Amino acid sequence: MPKPCLTDEELTTALADLDGWTLEEGGKAITAGFKFADFPAAFGFMATCAPTAEKMDHHPEWSNVYNSVDVRLTTHDSGGVTELDIKLARAMNKAAG
């Protein structure tokens, strides 16, 4: 059973507590851009997050250019943002330090 999408109110509350994340236009995903000192630090961040995502069976859409990692989180099975995206966003913020 796919997780239910968060209501507008739940989203607002969750985002208020999530540094750096904003709701994508259209409301189907949350996005954040992470900046690091250099490429090894950016790639290290991705390497830290990947096993967490795999364990959650919830996978980010992300891209890396040199020292930056741009992330988009959405729950494909649900067609929008669910608690899984918020959980993964929190874990990513923690991993970024």
Ligand X SMILES: C[C@H](O)[C@H](O)[C@H]1CNC2=NC(N)=NC(=O)C2=N1
Q: Which residues bind ligand X (CB under 6 A)?
A: 57-59, 75-77
Select 42 or 75, whichever has its Cβ closest to ligand X: 75
Contacts of range 91-96, beta carbons closer than 8 Å, 24 or more positions apart: 91/49, 91/52, 92/32, 92/34, 92/45, 92/49, 92/60, 93/18, 93/19, 93/20, 93/21, 95/45, 95/48, 95/49, 95/52, 96/34, 96/36, 96/45
The distance of closest approach from Cβ of residue 31 to ligand X in the complex, given in angstroms and rounded to an integer, is 13
The distance of closest approach from Cβ of residue 53 to ligand X in the complex, given in angstroms and rounded to an integer, is 8
The distance of closest approach from Cβ of residue 77 to ligand X in the complex, given in angstroms and rounded to an integer, is 3
Select 41 or 87, whichever has its Cβ closest to ligand X: 87
Select 9 or 57, whichever has its Cβ closest to ligand X: 57
